[in-house]
Amino acid sequence: MIEQNPPVIEIRDLHKAYGELEVIKGVDITAHAGDVVSLIGSSGSGKSTLLRCANLLENSQHGDILFQSEAVKWRGKGLSRHPADKHQVIRIRTNLSMVFQQFNLWSHMTILQNVMEAPVTVLGRDKAEVEASARAYLEKVGIGDKCDVWPAQLSGGQQQRAAIARALAMEPEALLFDEPTSALDPELEQEVVKVIKDLAAEGRTMLIVTHDMRLAADVSDHVIFLHQGQVEEQGPPEVLFKQPKSARLQQFLSATQPD
């Protein structure tokens, strides 16, 4: 079977270490356009580190990272390896918008200004055009009436939805979510889950690191279970969650899945 389109994101044999401690040990990930790939696993399994490597916020020591078939260029080896082309890094990052666990909104800007800032200053887009799209994205995530308030005046769920609108305003090729609901209480968590489900239904390409097994089961095309920096098991959610093969995954799911 011939693939018509190259993957949006492809990671091959990735290794990441902090000094002598290797935290990612040869991981492969592929996400085509419209794919939702969730990364699950215990704390310390390497999920968030892997996502940060994909977005070039962390330097990996070995392996390839490709964005729409374009490989990241590297200079140096091992712990000295780093991206060789800063313009390539900026271009890739602007197409891989990341939503963090802590919302990272600028406290001195209104919600609308937060959403507008990067498209105007990084991409150089027309301010009036960006404002119109920013308002539309805030409406999309359900807080269109909060444009002129400050982040501190919003609930955690509202702040995270603002952060998602900010990511969408970059018009990225893919969205990366790093534990987007783990800082929220259950009621506010559902506000954010609904937005993520809506984005999945639209066919957005997404990599999601999550502790929420129900979210991973509901929105994912493919789920990867990481254990001690390696892929222990992977597959479609209906197989991985209902018929786990490895003892480690069975143990993990018994401790985390809702009844």
Side-chain-side CA neighbours of residue 222 (13 Å)? 18
Tell me if 140 sits within 8 A of 203, measured CB to CB.
no
- Encode pLDDT of 161-220 as tens digits: 999 999 999 999 999 999 999 888 888 899 999 999 999 999 999 999 999 999 999 999
**Quick one: tokens of 251?**
């143990």
Every domain of the chain and the residues it spans? 9-100+173-256
Q: What is the pLDDT of residue 6?
A: 85
Give the pLDDT mean for 25-52.
96
Q: pTM for this one?
A: 0.93
Give the span between the Cα atoms of 84 and 30, in whole angstroms.
Answer: 23
What are the tens digits of pLDDT across the range 40-97? 999 999 999 999 999 999 999 999 999 999 999 999 999 999 999 999 999 999 999 9
Mean per-residue pLDDT of the chain: 94
Residue 228 is predicted with a pLDDT of 95
- Spatial separation of the C-alpha atoms in residues 106 and 199, rounded to whole Å: 24
Who has greater pLDDT, 256 or 212?
212
Q: Are 50 and 225 in contact (CB under 8 A)?
A: no
C-alpha to C-alpha distance for 54 and 227, rounded to whole angstroms: 18
The reported pLDDT for the residue numbered 258 is: 55
Provide the pLDDT for residue 1: 39
Q: Could you tell me the two tokens for 31? A: 């996400």
Q: Determine the Cα–Cα distance for residues 94 and 170; give it in Å rounded to an integer.
A: 7
* pLDDT value of position 182: 87
> Are 226 and 232 spatial neighbours (Cβ–Cβ below 8 Å)?
yes
158: left (phi over 0), alpha (psi -120 to 50) or beta: alpha
Alpha-carbon 66 to chain mean position: 16
pLDDT of residue 257: 62
Domain 9-100+173-256 = CATH 3.90.110.10: no
Is the pLDDT assigned to residue 14 strictly greater than 90? yes
DSSP state of 8: S
Altogether, the residues listed in the chain come to a count of: 259
Confidence (pLDDT) at 186: 86
Asked whether residue 2 carries a pLDDT value surpassing 60, the answer given is: no
Burial of 74-95, coded b for 16+ CB within 10 Å and e otherwise, reads beeeeeebebeeeebbeebbbb
How large is the average pLDDT for residues 149-161? 95
What percent of the chain is modeled with pLDDT above 90? 91
